[in-house]
Amino acid sequence: MSMNIAIDGPAGAGKSTIAKMLAKQLGFIYVDTGAMYRAMAYNFLSRGIDTADEEAIAAACTDVDVTIAYENGEQQVLLNGENVNGVIRTEEVGNTASAVSAYSAVRAKLVKLQKQLAAKSDVIMDGRDIGSCVLPEAQVKIYLTASTAVRAKRRYDELTAKGISCDLMQIERDIEARDERDMHREISPLVQAEDAVLIDSSELSINEVVQEIYQICQRHAGGHAEGREK
Ligand code: DC
């Protein structure tokens, strides 16, 4: 049976940076599920489909194919066979992904792919509903969060470092709106799974969070080895 680690949390909590580092340390495959929702959103935006129209989105889902591949250990998202990694990281695509991820047709398609990936490999998967819905049997579940102000500042620094000019207050408002949508939608809202460990990274460095989760994984592995010895 494969070992599965689920990391959920709101936008900008550091999930992908941390999950990537952990995946390297543990020799696991990293699966970024947000990138899959972003690829779907990018497709709908490019086709000019009204994202407020659930029926139109459900119909559009039938001719969208999202898969993933790995290049030098980095996840690449393929949209109808084309690599879209370079175009899905904008705020527009992120906000649209948040909006369309509320629709069951969009989720059904991606959750199926995510479950298949986790069944065949040891994965560390991050998203919003991994511990609660996609991988309810994951051996380790983490709910990673940070204050809104800290998350907004991190996103601001990230964008500024890329030379993109942005407004910190606007980013904070966008994050609040995104949290509101992701946490209060009807299907698979962002929640802390009952058996997830809560980590607030507001005052922690990336390395401190990685080490904390690594130790939780080691304790899990140790517990299993002990169980087998008895
Ligand atoms: O993690 P991210 O910012 O790349 O995700 C973009 C949006 O996709 C997020 O706001 C909500 C949605 N999403 C989701 O509904 N379920 C997931 N497992 C991952 C992302």
Please tell me the residue having the least CA distance from ligand 1 atom 9: 98
Least confident of 105-119, 122-136, 157-171, 216-230: 216-230
**Bridge partner list, 126:** 7, 32
CA distance 196 to 8: 9
pLDDT digits (tens, 9 = 90+) for 122-144: 999 999 999 999 999 999 999 99
pLDDT at 224: 67
Quick one: pLDDT at residue 189?
96
From ligand 1's centre to the CA of 115, what distance in Å?
A: 16
Q: Whose CA is nearest to atom 14 of ligand 1?
A: 128
Distance CA 199, CA 212 (A): 9
218 CA distance to ligand 1 middle (Å): 28
Per-residue confidence band for 103, with pLDDT thresholds at 50, 70 and 90: very high
Query: Given pLDDT bands bounded at 50, 70 and 90, which one contains residue 230?
Result: very low
- Region 84-92: what's the mean pLDDT? 94
Contact in structure between 188 and 195 (CB atoms under 8 Å): no
Going by alpha carbons, the residue nearest to atom 13 of ligand 1 is 34
- Average of per-residue pLDDT across 50-69: 96
133: Cβ–Cβ under 8 A, 6 or more apart, which residues? 111, 188
pLDDT classification of 73: cutoffs 50, 70, 90? confident
DSSP string, 135-200: -TT-SEEEEEE--HHHHHHHHHHHHHHTT----HHHHHHHHHHHHHHHHH-SSS-----TTPEEEE
Pocket (CB within 6 angstroms of ligand 1): 11, 33-34, 37-38, 94, 97-98, 101, 127-130, 178, 182
Q: Name the residue of 4, 57, 101 whose CB sits within 8 Å of the most ligand 1 atoms, as the mutation to test its pocket.
A: 101
Does residue 30 surpass a pLDDT of 90? yes
The backbone region for 27, taken as left when phi is positive above 0, alpha when psi lies in -120 to 50, beta otherwise, is left
φ and ψ at 152, to 5 degrees? -65, -40
pTM of the predicted model as reported, rounded to 2 decimal places: 0.94
Q: What is the pLDDT of residues 112-121, one digit of tens each?
A: 999 999 999 9
Residue closest via CA to ligand 1's atom 11 equals 98
- Is 206 a residue whose pLDDT tops 90? yes
